[in-house]
Amino acid sequence: MAYILEYATFVKGFSRTAKFYLLSSGLTALAQGVAGVVMNLYLVRMGLGESFLGALASYSSLAGAIFALPAGRASDRYGRRLALLASGVVGVAATLAQVIRPIPEVLIPATFIAGAAFTVTMVTGGPLLVEASGDRERTHLFGFQSALVLGLMVVGSSVGGYLPKVFGALYAVDAGSVVSLRATLYAGLALYLLSLIPLLSMREEPRAAEATSTGEPPGVGAGVMSIAPRGRASSWLRLSNPDLVRKLLLPQALVSLGAGLIVPLQNVFMDRYLRASPVQIGIVFGLTAAVTGIGSLAAPLMARRLGKIRAVTACQLASLPFMAMMGLSPRFWVYSAASLVRSSLMNLASPLITSFCLEVVSSRERATVSSLINMFWSLGWAISAWAGGWVMQHVSYTLPYGLALVFYAPSILLFYHYFKGYEASIRSRGDTSRLSV
């Protein structure tokens, strides 16, 4: 109870900028929940195969890899608010084109553009939250934002699974028909548009000074991962500590290769292999987001008791047996239960990883590092999403789950190996404020 009251105190103290961003990202999550359940099912009903759907996911991720660095540069130069507004408008327009004309000639460029817009949003969100918070409440802000997004995805996924039945009854067609699924996607697009309204009232927080009076980047203890050289602004392509950034990037790249094999076509797997209905798929997506959201709220508590690095490692390693169960069992209820546990454990660590990656680099390089992380993630996803779709259509629906384990396990161990001494080093110097828990 004391922890809940403490958390509520932090939430009340979030800045005005953070609150408007939370509202916008919550509405976006609601829209993503609706669209995420039915988009691939809609394209399958239009006659497109798993291999093409995997290729589409690759194009979206490839756009992310190409635009990640320019997106970070634009966010730094023109401001977080403008970047979010512009990417939101472009993303809605591109998604609308996919729904109206679901043919390859339109889907490929529209998916690429939507992927680029989504990348701008992803690259901008993390630095905005860091700049809109102090060390004391930052982990709570990242955890709350993650829980809010996932919680509203629960609602969106449930609505996305149920709306086809509503539109099916309204238009006197089957719930899984093209008409029902298209109407559901239009409802999701309306929510995307609503998510832009809070951004109009948002005001950016002033950027923190690059160095303290001691010459160290803000919040970095003496001798611990010194990030930025004194008296010089870093270029967006010349990082002040490239070795640190490489250590941040490699585990993320490996896990993206594993995730791309299974996540983009998870609803198609349930539809084609497990014979699940849109309602059942919506329930699974919704419950997965709900359990993950609850876990995100517990992330600061786990970080306080175990430390960020050990908490991340323990949760992600524990998720691997459940991923194996998802690929081995042909029963929908076993797959669903394993998916719930795997997703909650893997994603519980997500706000801790994001917060850690951005707080150990200088304020002037946050958007750049965020861009690089997204670029490597997108590149890995682009490669593996295409491969996963091809394997599902031509070899086996279950093989991608085994291949994903090959990438997940070393990524988790590498992250722990690189950063296991970070928090101990900070504690030995008495700088506990950097733990942000």
- The domain locations on the chain are 11-204+241-427
307: left (phi over 0), alpha (psi -120 to 50) or beta: left
Q: What is the rounded CA–CA span in Å between residue 344 and residue 322?
A: 11
Flag whether pLDDT at 39 surpasses 70. Answer: yes
Q: Contact, 55 vs 105, CB < 8 A?
A: no
Q: What is the rounded CA–CA span in Å between residue 66 and residue 15?
A: 33
Q: Contact, 414 vs 85, CB < 8 A?
A: no
Region 349-354: mean pLDDT is 81
- What are the tens digits of pLDDT across the range 422-434? 766 655 554 444 4
Structure tokens at 385: 């999403």
- The superfamily in CATH containing domain 11-204+241-427 is MFS general substrate transporter like domains (1.20.1250.20)
Region 70-82: mean pLDDT is 84
Flag whether pLDDT at 320 surpasses 60. Answer: yes
Flag whether pLDDT at 26 surpasses 60. Answer: yes
Flag whether pLDDT at 37 surpasses 90. Answer: no
Region 99-113: mean pLDDT is 93
Model pLDDT, residue 393: 86
Q: What is the rounded CA–CA span in Å between residue 243 and residue 223?
A: 15
How many Cα neighbours within 13 Å face the side chain of 65? 17
Model pLDDT, residue 353: 86
Model pLDDT, residue 42: 92
Q: What is the rounded CA–CA span in Å between residue 216 and residue 228?
A: 8
Region 236-240: mean pLDDT is 63
Task: Of 101-105, 297-301, 340-344, give the lowest mean pLDDT range.
Answer: 297-301
- What are the tens digits of pLDDT across the range 243-299? 888 889 999 899 999 999 998 888 889 988 898 888 888 888 878 777 776 766 777
- What are the tens digits of pLDDT across the range 49-67? 888 998 888 888 888 778 8
Q: What is the rounded CA–CA span in Å between residue 156 and residue 194?
A: 14
- What are the tens digits of pLDDT across the range 155-184? 888 899 889 999 999 988 888 889 999 999
Q: What is the rounded CA–CA span in Å between residue 155 and residue 152?
A: 5
Q: What is the rounded CA–CA span in Å between residue 271 and residue 307?
A: 40
Among 121, 148, 155, residue whose Cα is nearest residue 37 = 155
Which DSSP category does 320 fall into?
Answer: H
Task: Of 13-17, 185-189, 287-291, give the lowest mean pLDDT range.
Answer: 287-291
Amino acid, single-letter form, for residue 293: G
Mean pLDDT of the chain: 81
Q: What radius of gyration, in Å, describes the C-alpha atoms of the chain?
A: 21
Flag whether pLDDT at 217 surpasses 50. Answer: no
Model pLDDT, residue 436: 39
Q: What is the percent of the chain where pLDDT is above 90?
A: 31
Task: Of 216-225, 263-272, 327-336, 344-353, give the lowest mean pLDDT range.
Answer: 216-225
Region 109-135: mean pLDDT is 86
In sequence order, what are the residues at sequence separation of 6 or more whose Cβ sits closer than 8 angstroms to the Cβ of residue 423? Answer: 307, 308, 309, 435
Q: Contact, 208 vs 199, CB < 8 A?
A: no
Model pLDDT, residue 271: 86
Q: What is the percent of the chain where pLDDT is above 70?
A: 86
